[in-house]
Structure 1
């Protein structure tokens, strides 16, 4: 394996967990709106998705964050309306406010700049009659002995304990670890105050969840990966974007301009912007398929492709839940949207360690759950196949919205894949060992975060005893 320092540096520059410094020059007014939106959105999601108190939110969600808004966020105060389930934040001396409102299953939606509490009733709420999720059942895992020897159990416990220290990164702050096979949870540990029902933001792990939603649509013949995305906004016969395929989008190879840092989509993530006003408007920069560039917009556009196959937004909003999440028991997962009902599945998902592990188990079972084929039976092979254009050497490879730990990282099995997200969110799948590894955290921006490669290597070492 190459030296850790080179790996960390490359990861900071190109990985899903990176917070690149490259961004447009925002005005001070825009920065203020972003900071207020960040605080409103994260407070809303952490309170109503994660059931957290404000002191814990300040400690976890609002420290060690993106420096564009970090200082201003600390100077603002959220107003939490528990009865109507929304959060508002006043800024610019009280002249303006940002609002984020919660909906069952769908979590919080950030309203645009200029919206007021009078606009809350205009937000779509297709699951209004849904009840709150109950305690996690522990399914599909068995409570019977997991078959590990005493030596394996002890060694694995020691590796997990190290994960809650700084052993895997000086900026690491771990909140949850889970190691499982389809039959058993082999190890599970949480930071005090966290439980199996505590949802956290996935950040870019959401991209792999989004790819799974796409996979369900492929299985149901709503989409084909090798055909043009055919977005309405690209329909003019002179528009070269008509040739961008769904596969190009899944491979991070759309060829679209996504600014210097494609992982910065602040206007959607913090500014109350729309997917349809941002991602679909980007111009083509290079031929689709010839360049790999990590870009949130490619994920947003892949899901927009699915959205345009539905006659109503209600049908689209229900699809991921009714056809995937509810079927595999991911009942503590919230897929958040913009205010015109486009899923922001490049980042804005809140979920638990167990729900992520369930998604991993679905892939280990080649897309089958309780006898039903949810994903194509070759979907794992598809997402694990290296895309035609690849990230630079030093980073993991890339498949279809999943990272690949192939020959670039010889200390892990060649079939290892991972969903990776900012602040140290990881879902690692190792099919040859029938194993899923989940790590959740609140790693500090700008410092070496949790090294999932070394942790997965050590977990495998413990299980090999």
Structure 2
């Protein structure tokens, strides 16, 4: 009998240890799933204006997100997501600000006051919304529109084509139009770099300045420069894998951390700066923190993108969401209408000049599109490049693009004087090389 009791105790202790280990591993994964779901639903419904069903179909159809139960509170503009009735997270929408995930509970962010949007619906494109009725010779608009329609898939959300500064074609999925702000995911990194460029022109930042963070001077991180961060060559250890079975650095940062910049800054060096190229959303959120340090008042930091970029370019339907402590999530959470994404592409196509005003330093676009040393010609400063023609072998080497998760892309073609915006809910089956090559037949 004593042996049986002892055996049962051992089994009980073993089972308890197994449950503790499983809980230790599983709990963060469940929190990540609820964080992602709450954030995507809150932004999808209240920023993009889609229905809960549309967001769930486009963004939350796979495991484990399809096991998350969510409640959308339209009166308070809040989403609460729960999985297996064990773990929950909530996201809150505020007008002009967007949705914010609060992993540790709601915390009011003082000074997060949006600037008014300059309405320009009666002003001609590109600063305004009025599109010319005629197009230049040599452009087959009918053929181009037919081509886009034929290739517009169930996962396509929006396509906009700019040629010689003129908007010549645009197509939208049901429930989306020219005013709908759409998530760019990592295309937001190119917005963050543009904001850096503006502050460089102001003389507030220099690309080769060291990144001064409190505990960095004690190790090799003291040698990291802003340029290293912009070019994804910081040497910081980082896992960018969007795994559904393990919580990686990028998932933890986006769905479990209140202060994303601080979390990204806390990772250790793995190699010397500028010795290895490694894509990292963390480095962009460190940049977002650096931008915040450039302002004495938080409100000035928060209003900076609208004041110095969005309103200048006529980007009326654009915003960058913040984390729970007010840092812009420069890695991932930029929402712009397809036309606004096109305007950002046009700013780069025009060498940083907008309607005669030099928004960016004269050398900035060349800098941003020069390959990082270790990137094999694929990456510049928060911008992807076709310099090696690995990405799109049938397109010119001078092509570069803003690129985001699930098939978001703004392609700038300097030699063709074109910008093409493609926004999607999945990257599957999208061959941008063939798609854009086929489009060029109608604009020669």
* TM-score category (smaller protein): 0.7 to 0.9
Aligned partner (choices 151, 168, 180) of residue 163 of structure 1: 151
Residue 250 of structure 1 deviates from its aligned partner by: 0.8
Residue 266 of structure 1 deviates from its aligned partner by: 0.6
Q: Which runs of 5+ in 2 are unaligned?
A: 1-22, 243-247
Partner of 2:67: 75
Partner of 1:32: 30
**Alpha-carbon distance change, 57 to 462 in structure 1, aligned in 2, over 3 angstroms:** same
**Alpha-carbon distance change, 129 to 360 in structure 1, aligned in 2, over 3 angstroms:** closer
**Alpha-carbon distance change, 177 to 267 in structure 1, aligned in 2, over 3 angstroms:** same
Partner of 1:406: 387
Aligned 8 A contact 1:77 1:90 in 2:
yes
**Alpha-carbon distance change, 232 to 320 in structure 1, aligned in 2, over 3 angstroms:** farther
Residue 125 of structure 1 deviates from its aligned partner by: 5.5
Aligned 8 A contact 2:318 2:337 in 1:
yes
Q: Does 1:373 align with 2:365?
A: no
Q: Does 1:334 align with 2:339?
A: no
Partner of 2:415: 432
Q: Does 1:397 align with 2:386?
A: no
Aligned 8 A contact 1:142 1:183 in 2:
no
**Alpha-carbon distance change, 378 to 132 in structure 1, aligned in 2, over 3 angstroms:** closer
**Alpha-carbon distance change, 133 to 145 in structure 1, aligned in 2, over 3 angstroms:** closer
Q: In structure 2, how many angstroms separate the alpha carbons of the residues matched to 1:309 and 1:182?
A: 36
Partner of 2:254: 269
Partner of 1:11: none
**Alpha-carbon distance change, 87 to 123 in structure 1, aligned in 2, over 3 angstroms:** farther
Residue 371 of structure 1 deviates from its aligned partner by: 2.7
Q: In structure 1, how many angstroms separate the alpha carbons of the residues matched to 2:66 and 2:278?
A: 33
Higher mean C-alpha deviation, range 100-109 or range 339-348: 100-109
Residue 36 of structure 1 deviates from its aligned partner by: 1.3
Aligned 8 A contact 1:179 1:185 in 2:
yes
How many residues align structurally?
412
Of structures 1 and 2, the larger Rg is shown by: 2
Q: In structure 2, how many angstroms separate the alpha carbons of the residues matched to 1:259 and 1:107?
A: 27
Q: In structure 2, how many angstroms separate the alpha carbons of the residues matched to 1:111 and 1:89?
A: 12
**Alpha-carbon distance change, 26 to 307 in structure 1, aligned in 2, over 3 angstroms:** farther
Q: State the TM-score, normalized to the length of structure 2.
A: 0.86
Q: Aligned runs of 1:78-97 on 2, under 5 Å?
A: 78-93=70-85, 96-97=87-88
Partner of 2:197: 215
Q: Residue deviations 1:419-450, cap 9 Å, x none? A: 11111000000112211000010116xxx441
Partner of 2:424: 441
Q: In structure 1, how many angstroms separate the alpha carbons of the residues matched to 2:223 and 2:441?
A: 46
Q: Aligned runs of 1:285-304 on 2, under 5 Å?
A: 285-304=270-289
**Alpha-carbon distance change, 125 to 55 in structure 1, aligned in 2, over 3 angstroms:** farther
Q: Residue deviations 1:227-286, cap 9 Å, x none? A: 21223342x3x3321111111111110001003749951112222442234210011111
Q: Does 1:202 align with 2:184?
A: yes
Q: Residue deviations 1:108-155, cap 9 Å, x none? A: 110014x2xxx35x23453268579797966316414111447x2233
**Alpha-carbon distance change, 123 to 101 in structure 1, aligned in 2, over 3 angstroms:** farther
Q: Aligned runs of 1:1-400 on 2, under 5 Å?
A: 27-63=25-61, 70-93=62-85, 96-113=87-104, 115=105, 119=106, 122-124=108-110, 126-127=112-113, 130=116, 139-140=125-126, 142-149=131-138, 152-165=140-153, 173-181=155-163, 183-234=165-216, 236=217, 238-259=218-239, 261=241, 265-391=250-376, 397-400=378-381
Compute the RMSD of aligned alpha carbons. Answer: 2.5
**Alpha-carbon distance change, 277 to 200 in structure 1, aligned in 2, over 3 angstroms:** same
Aligned 8 A contact 1:233 1:280 in 2:
no
Q: In structure 2, how many angstroms separate the alpha carbons of the residues matched to 1:295 and 1:136?
A: 41
Higher mean C-alpha deviation, range 224-233 or range 315-324: 224-233
Q: State the TM-score, normalized to the length of structure 1.
A: 0.82
**Alpha-carbon distance change, 137 to 215 in structure 1, aligned in 2, over 3 angstroms:** same
Aligned 8 A contact 2:99 2:321 in 1:
yes
Q: In structure 2, how many angstroms separate the alpha carbons of the residues matched to 1:61 and 1:350?
A: 15
